[in-house]
Amino acid sequence: MSETGKQQDGETRKQRGGGSEKTGHGRAMVWAASLHPIRGFGSLSLGVPPVRPAPVSLPRFPISRCLAAALPPVPSTVFLRALQIGPVRLSTNLLLAPIAGYCDLAFRMVCREWGGVGLACTDLLSPQGLLRGTATSLDLAKTNASDRPVGMQLYGGDPEVMAQGARWAVEHGAAVVDINMGCPVDKVTKKDGGSKLLTDLPRAAAIVERVTRELEKCALDGAEWSRRLDGTAPPPTGGPVPLTCKIRLCWHTADYESGRACSPDLARALADAGVRAVTVHGRTTQDKFAGSVRLGGIARVVEAAGGRIPVIGNGDVRAPKDAERMLRATGCDGVMIGRGALAAPWLFRQTWDHLNGRPAIEPTEAEKLATIRRFFDLMRTQRDDRYAMYQINRRISWFARSMQRPLVNGKLESVRPFKEAVRTARTANEVYSALDRFAAGELRGGVEAGA
Ligand SMILES: Cc1cc2nc3c(=O)[nH]c(=O)nc-3n(C[C@H](O)[C@H](O)[C@H](O)COP(=O)(O)O)c2cc1C
């Protein structure tokens, strides 16, 4: 079984504490079947630093260099427009994507602490689960004062249930409510949710109209808005939480290839029905996650929106220059980053610097290790040790991807012993010990397979 396969193996999950996470992580598991490392990540070139002497002990958070500095103001370049979603003005036009089972509160906090994140969203939430108060749904919807502004993403096909879910989201801290219209997983599409809505425009519009009406009924006052935003822009004096939708290009790839993708019409219909921004993952439902993002498809949605609502492009952004390329090639207003952030939670910061004409500084190895430690600490605090061990076990491959040092022969040094040490750790102290040993120059050696 492949390394990724092993992590996703049900038995391993159960042993690590994932067994009880039936609904949310059951769903995450289905998604996770498509969670493959982005090709080329092994040789990620964000200006990979020259080999540095490893520090003996790790600095504790906060990560000094990056966290101390406030984000500088936005210069007016062609592709850097301030992103405004209804009344919500974001500090950057970079968004963290929902990735079921991965973009939880702890991960969102780690990305935000690096800087550059304009908006982060919960993973997809079942409105029924929220309304019934099931432990998994409540856990997935967890947020806090450092997680601002936060979007909450709902999935489903029933306008009334979605409206009640949206009300719940507003009552529990959402600054944006998002409807998932892109999930290709059977469990979601069979209930008329996710990507299925791409094939049923009237239903998609009916959901948006109903949810918009509900959001208007639970509008926030100015004081509540200022609590929900990050203080980088004046908060609205009052008004409803804006609704957004996350779509794909269309269901069938043949439709896209013959110029009949539904997404331009859908974007127009959604704007008519009250949506305040659309995110487009530049793939069809049939593509799932295969092939490359289709920037031309995103550009057509931007054209169809005609500046009425912002369009956020998404897909395959794993380095700052990918975001720049997407912005330039499609004219989109913002960029959403998913898997790229799993390997590099600092990618938003780097991308924002890059877009602002500043060098995108690669974190030091000590800072990367501090980021892993921070995530692990947050997981332990927000959940418990058992769950934190399960999460670090399944994520260490992503984190470690950015930690392979280049060798003189142009290949990458293996970090497999480090990943193994984290994965086989039995206690939290053993995880910390693996991090410390790696910092001290141990747990590495050999050449990375496939490098
Ligand atoms: C394992 C996995 C889980 C995902 N979960 C969600 C989700 O809950 N909601 C959603 O809208 N998209 C979800 N997505 C799609 C991502 O948000 C994003 O659209 C996609 O990964 C492409 O962007 P990227 O190349 O930056 O990762 C998921 C993707 C993966 C791989």
Three-class secondary structure assignment of 157-178 = CCHHHHHHHHHHHHHCCCCEEE
Q: What is the pLDDT of residue 79?
A: 58
* Cα-to-centroid distance, 306 and ligand 1 (Å): 26
The protein residue with its alpha carbon nearest to ligand 1, atom 29, reads 99
Cβ partners under 8 Å of residue 20, min gap 6 = none
Ligand 1 atom having least distance to the Cα of 32: 1
Q: Would you state the pLDDT for residue 53? A: 31
Low-confidence ranges of the chain (pLDDT < 50): 1-69, 73-76, 78, 451
Nearest Cα neighbor of 12 from 343, 391, 396, 377 is 391
198 close to ligand 1 (CB < 6 Angstrom): no
- Using only C-alpha atoms, what is the Rg of the chain? 21
Q: What is the pLDDT of residue 448?
A: 61
Question: DSSP of 23-39, one letter per residue?
Answer: HHHHHHHHHHTT--PPT
Sequential DSSP letters for 381-403: HHS-HHHHHHHHHHHHHHHHGGG
pLDDT of residue 176: 98
Q: Which residues are known to be catalytic?
A: 183
- pTM for the full predicted model: 0.85
Atom of ligand 1 nearest to the CA of 35: 31
Domains of the chain (ranges plus CATH)? 3-62+363-439 (no CATH), 71-355 (3.20.20.70)
pLDDT score for 411: 86
31 C-beta closer than 6 A to ligand 1: yes
Query: From the CB of 241, is ligand 1 less than 6 Å away?
Result: no
C-beta separation of 266 from 201 below 8 A: yes
* Nearest atom within ligand 1 for CA of residue 341: 26
Q: Which of 8, 25, 30, 99 most suits a substitution to test ligand 1, by most atoms within 8 Å of the C-beta?
A: 99
The alpha carbon of 34 and the centre of ligand 1 are apart by a number of angstroms equal to: 9
The string of pLDDT tens digits covering residues 22-68 is 333 334 433 443 343 332 222 222 223 333 333 323 333 334 344 43
Q: Is 96 in the pocket of ligand 1 (CB under 6 A)?
A: no
**Gap between the Cα atoms of 281 and 310, Å rounded:** 14
